[in-house]
Amino acid sequence: MSGLGGLNKSPDGVVIGLVQLQLPIVVTKADLARQTEKVCAMVTKARRAFATMDLVVFPEYCLHGLSMDTNPEIMCRLDGPEVAAFKSACLRENIWGCFSIMELNPAGNPYNSGLIIDNTGEIRLYYRKMHPWVPVEPWEPGNLGIPVCDGPNGSKLALIICHDGMFPEMARECAYKGANVMIRTAGYTAPIRHAWTITNQANSFCNLMYSANVCMAGTDGVFNSMGEGTIVGFDGVPLVTGNGAPDEIITAEVRPRLADEARQLWGVENNIYQFGHRGYVAVEGGAQDCPYTYMTDLAAGQYRLPWDGAVKVTDGTSCGFPRPTRRYQG
């Protein structure tokens, strides 16, 4: 049930709008200012078109487009005019918003960052993309972990960005930290369509968690982003699926209380619980060890695949980026 896209809102419902924003071309500071105005205008559109909406979500690259330009002149800061405009728009329209910025990093490459701002204009969640889409993206790997915040009407929100969602561990971490709604913003293009669909559904089902997922849409003359906003129920079944229409807003109501209830009451396929309580029918409380070699090796700084030495693409040179020479400091 999506409440007819949120038109019929339940007392414990959260209506989410996913903006399939037109892919922009941003080269100069003036371009960035115009695109900021466009995003804020879409916040106003969301509020006026959907009076019941609680949270409006913009895709990754909503300000900067897909150029991968790291020019410091068009990078953003948390205390910069772009974020200030987002805060004002959320306050003015009395709505929560999720936004994407490419964030200036004086110590290295820019961060690909996401913000959730509440209806009073306060930043409630600040996240830096953990897994840039290599070898295409030049962004610094995120160093803030995966935060979770209280959202509207009983929701607990987490945010991951694009390629993050291809790693099951990312969605599991969101759920492990309490999120019952995971947002995934993206700039993906058509070749990723099938992987986008199946990972969004698996991320929800494997963690008994709603997911709200949206890409940029349209073309910038070079790339075609695919739109295809989708909100998936905690059982892995899509509640609503969008198309490729630029600037269309895809909406549905989610019921966080029902996800919380499933996590408490389900026996069969309560995977987020059963993962840490293996075989509890046979042994009291289940086995609570860590039998996964990749986890223990990663924690020890010794992650290495059997074919590690045979991997051919291990930097960004194939996409025109120079080979990095500095080590990650964390």
Q: Which residues pair with 112 in a beta bridge?
A: 102
List, in order of start, the domains of the chain with CATH numbers: 3-270 (3.60.110.10)
Q: Is 244 helix (H, G, I), strand (E, B) or coil?
A: coil
> Cis peptide leading into 59, omega within 30 of 0?
no
Closest by alpha carbon to 158, among 298, 230, 273, 57? 57
- pLDDT tens string, the chain, 330 residues long: the values are 677 888 889 999 999 999 999 999 999 999 999 999 999 999 999 999 999 999 999 999 999 999 999 999 999 999 999 999 999 999 999 999 999 999 999 999 999 999 999 999 999 999 999 999 999 999 999 999 999 999 999 999 999 999 999 999 999 999 999 999 999 999 999 999 999 999 999 999 999 999 999 999 999 999 999 999 999 999 999 999 999 999 999 999 999 999 999 999 999 999 999 999 999 999 999 999 999 999 999 999 999 999 999 999 999 999 999 999 999 987
Residues 6+ apart with CB under 8 A from 265: none
* Angstrom distance (rounded) from CA 123 to CA 8: 28
pLDDT value, residue 4: 81
Which tokens hold the place of 203? 């991320």
Angle between helices 193-205 and 168-176 (to 10 degrees): 30
* Angstrom distance (rounded) from CA 225 to CA 238: 21
Which tokens hold the place of 97? 């918003």
pLDDT value, residue 233: 98
Catalytic machinery residues: 60, 129, 162
Residue type, 105: N
